[in-house]
């Protein structure tokens, strides 16, 4: 059947385009571009190397996952001298959580490089984080530790690792609100929609309804942030309500 053998490839058409795309993301030149191609090769393509070994991003993902953990560990070790082993372990697992890595891969739009026989719409969320890890593995093999650390600093640590925020994420207002609704047997609904307005960055707006009442509205650069903001507002509104009852 023709359809099943089709490769769903938004991989830039020429090697030159792929090289430039990767170089843009890395902030430095790849040496061996073939390693990076492997980092975006889905197992469905069923490619083999000249020795007959399967070629896909999964082995690189294994390697990248490990290196990512190490560099985050070193960062946390240096940044939080008062944190013990348990604290460091907990913080690292927050930074390298599946959810977080998926966000990262999505922000870099890595899916555009993925070569696969499965339509991309059929992939789950994890494809984003998986190829991000594979990319880290590719950098490690291609350019060594120092470049790998530089990449992780620029792409993960600087934009995403805010230790105070990570510590503060312990309390999610959204989960507090949901818990309250379930206890009170109230329905709730988070209605999220794009609302970029005049901003350069994409923005999201959210409307939180509890029962038949709009409890809070909020706006932020990510869905999650917007939901959290609205939840916080609703949470305090509900507390006031309870105290005044």
CB of 75 to a copy of itself, least distance (A): 10
115/39 Cα distance (integer angstroms): 10
Annotation says 65 is catalytic: yes
CB of 138 to a copy of itself, least distance (A): 11
CA atoms within 13 A on the CB side of 59: 8
Take residue 212 and report the two structure tokens written for it.
């038949």
Closer to a copy of itself by Cβ: residue 71 or 216: 71
Catalytic residue among 32, 49, 125, 133: 133
Residue 227 assigned ligand-binding role = no
77/92 Cα distance (integer angstroms): 10
Asked if 39 contacts 60 with a C-beta cutoff of 8 angstroms, the reply is: yes
Asked if 30 contacts 22 with a C-beta cutoff of 8 angstroms, the reply is: yes
Residue 24 assigned ligand-binding role = no
Closer to a copy of itself by Cβ: residue 28 or 145: 145
Residue 56 assigned ligand-binding role = no
Closer to a copy of itself by Cβ: residue 141 or 234: 141
Measured CA angle at 199 (ends 155, 207), to 5 deg: 95
Closer to a copy of itself by Cβ: residue 28 or 77: 77
Annotation says 133 is catalytic: yes
Asked if 113 contacts 21 with a C-beta cutoff of 8 angstroms, the reply is: yes
CB of 43 to a copy of itself, least distance (A): 9
145/102 Cα distance (integer angstroms): 23
In the complex, the residues that contact a copy of itself under the rule CB under 8 A are 49, 51, 53-54, 58-59, 61-63, 66-67, 69-70, 73-74, 77, 81-85, 88-89, 137, 140-141, 145-146, 149
Numbered residues of the known binding site for Mg(2+) = 61, 130, 133
Q: What residues are annotated to the active site?
A: 65, 133
């Amino acid at each position: 059947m023709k359809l099943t053998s089709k490769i769903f490839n938004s991989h830039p058409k020429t090697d030159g385009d792929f090289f430039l795309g990767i170089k843009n993301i890395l902030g430095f030149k790849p040496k061996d571009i073939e390693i990076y191609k492997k980092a975006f090769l889905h197992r469905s393509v069923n490619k083999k190397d000249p020795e007959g070994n399967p070629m896909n991003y999964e082995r690189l993902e294994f390697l990248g996952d490990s290196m990512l953990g190490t560099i985050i560990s070193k960062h946390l070790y240096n940044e939080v001298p008062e944190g013990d082993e348990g604290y460091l372990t907990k913080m690292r697992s927050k930074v390298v959580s599946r959810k977080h890595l998926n966000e990262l891969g999505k922000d870099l739009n890595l899916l555009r490089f993925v070569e696969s026989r499965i339509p991309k719409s059929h992939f789950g969320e994890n494809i984003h984080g998986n190829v991000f890890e594979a990319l880290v593995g590719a950098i490690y093999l291609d350019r060594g530790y120092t470049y790998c650390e530089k990449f992780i600093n620029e792409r993960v640590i600087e934009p995403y690792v805010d230790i105070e925020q990570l510590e503060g994420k312990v309390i999610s207002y959204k989960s507090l609100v949901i818990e309250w609704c379930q206890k009170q047997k109230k329905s709730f609904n988070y209605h999220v929609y794009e609302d970029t307005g005049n901003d350069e960055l994409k923005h999201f707006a959210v409307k939180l309804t509890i029962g038949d009442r709009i409890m809070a509205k909020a706006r932020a650069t990510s869905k999650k942030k917007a939901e959290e903001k609205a939840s916080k507002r609703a949470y305090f509104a509900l507390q006031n309500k309870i105290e005044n009852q």
